[in-house]
Amino acid sequence: MFAGDSPLQVWGPEHLRLAVDAACVSLWSWNLTDDRFAMDRRAFKLWDLPWAEAVSFSDLSAHIHPADRDRVQAAFTATRSVPGPYEIDFRIMVGPDIRWISARGQAAELDASEAPMFGIFLDVTGRKQAEEGSELLAGEMSHRVKNLLAIATGLTQITARSAATVEEMTGQLTQRLISLGRAHDLVRPLPGEQGKAALLGDLLAVLLSPYEDTGAFSGRIRVAVPRMGVGEATATTLAMVVHELATNSVKHGALSASAGTLDVSGRTEHEEVHIVWAETGGPEIAHEPEMIGFGGRMIERSVASQLAGSLRYDWQTSGLVATIIMRRDRMRR
């Protein structure tokens, strides 16, 4: 019974086990003298190890992710000479999966070099995945805001080339920004619009409409793709790819030059659909740029995971030729 509790609040071993099970924690003790871990059955299951009376610290270390192993070993070793509570989060490998573990403990006596340490293992995989998802979302939002600012600058320059008066430029720029808003609605459909399929050609036309000139250079963006429907998930992924390619083109490629043109064509090959983005007439490409930024990594990962496809870049002297390859059976999703 804990001090200050009423007589009815009596805690025995069974009550402690119920509390431990409810918290989904695993118990362990570490004998610093012989370097042996004693763990309960939940801990052995968490580490995916066969039951044993005890395991060595080196046995557990073999299952720690290589990127975390030295850090965990150093932290555990430090507890021999530094008494007090101990806590560290690290990854372990369980077959093809990776789990995040939080180890928390404290020596039973002040002399940590001799006293055993007792503590818990807690599976925090879900929390870590949520944190990583939040960081990815924050990075993606920051990237999109930067892209929008770059696009707005590019659209202003495009509009200035074809407008004869301030009023005409204002009207054209307003229409382009409205079109840009329509294009972004495809990335996040409005309530009640989810799940609706669109035609591939219509989708590309809407996404590229903000960048089309309405004056002397009208028609410099051409879209010719097979007639086929795309689902909401595919439309979202393609919108991300097109926005990224268009942003780069407005800043550095064909859409940054008055004489630049863009052709978007498509064809089917067996069970695959190939979309080719071909720029000409822009600034000459002196060397192949490295696509290692957040946007490049994000769209390549999206194409691979959502469309089971790939994104290839061919940096020709006349301009970028990018090819999006995706499985046809994924496009209706």
In the prediction, which pLDDT does 45 show? 86
| Judgement on whether residues 222 and 320 belong to the same structural domain of the protein | yes
In the prediction, which pLDDT does 251 show? 78
CATH number reported for the structural domain that contains residue 25 in this entry: 3.30.450.20
From 123, 157, 175, give the residue that closes a domain.
123
| Judgement on whether residues 85 and 203 belong to the same structural domain of the protein | no
| Judgement on whether residues 86 and 112 belong to the same structural domain of the protein | yes
Q: Find the domain containing 326 and state its range.
A: 128-330
DSSP per-residue letters across 76-144:
HHHTTTS-SEEEEEEEEEETTEEEEEEEEEEESSS-TTTS-EEEEEEE-HHHHHHHHHHHHHHHHHHHH
Look at residue 3 and tell me if it is in a domain. no
In the prediction, which pLDDT does 162 show? 58
| Judgement on whether residues 270 and 203 belong to the same structural domain of the protein | yes
| Number of domains observed in the structure of the chain | 2
- In our burial notation (b when 16+ CB lie closer than 10 A, e otherwise), range 297-327 reads ebbbebbeebbebebeeeeeeebbbbebbbe
| Judgement on whether residues 67 and 106 belong to the same structural domain of the protein | yes
| Judgement on whether residues 272 and 147 belong to the same structural domain of the protein | yes
Look at residue 174 and tell me if it is in a domain. yes
Biggest CA-to-CA distance, the chain:
90
Ranges of residues in the chain with a pLDDT under 50 are 1-4, 8, 112, 189-195, 215-217
Alpha carbon separation from 50 to 41, 45, 53, 54, 203 (Å, rounded):
9, 8, 10, 11, 54
In the prediction, which pLDDT does 46 show? 84
